[in-house]
Amino acid sequence: DTAVSQTPKYLVTQMGNDKSIKCEQNLGHDTMYWYKQDSKKFLKIMFSYNNKELIINETVPNRFSPKSPDKAHLNLHINSLELGDSAVYFCASSLSGGETQYFGPGTRLLVL
């Protein structure tokens, strides 16, 4: 059973397009996250939701919009994609803030 899943695993698209990445967890966790891993492998928090409520919104362009339809899902929508958005995006979940976070397999986004 997959604990945290993301779709798609790979995404290749043109500049200016809009795309979404979906994340689902079946661990019964209350808190979900989006992280971005850049080309130098540095991981940085983008967003965090607790019980469908946005609790962390780091300095991320407005083109990125998270949506949490329920506690088990956290999607990431990106408008007007730019070359600099190319990265690996990880979804994660935890029982609550501060607890161990479990990661999805990552989505490698390439903007051409």
Residues that bind another protein (CB under 8 A): 31, 33, 35, 40-45, 48, 50, 55-56, 58, 88, 90, 92, 97-103, 105-106, 108
Residue appearing with tokens 């979900």: 32
Residue 71 CB, nearest distance to another protein (Å)? 15
Do 96 and 43 form a contact (C-beta atoms < 8 A)?
A: no
> In the bound complex, what is the minimum distance in angstroms from residue 41's beta carbon to another protein?
5
d(CA 70, CA 78): 20
Alpha carbons 107 and 37: distance in angstroms, whole number = 10
Q: Residue 14 or 53: which CB sits closer to another protein?
A: 53
Burial of 39 (0-12, 13-18, 19+ CB in 10 A): exposed
Q: Which is nearer to another protein, 14 or 40 (CB)?
A: 40
Rounded least distance, CB 24 to another protein, Å: 16
Q: Which is nearer to another protein, 43 or 110 (CB)?
A: 43
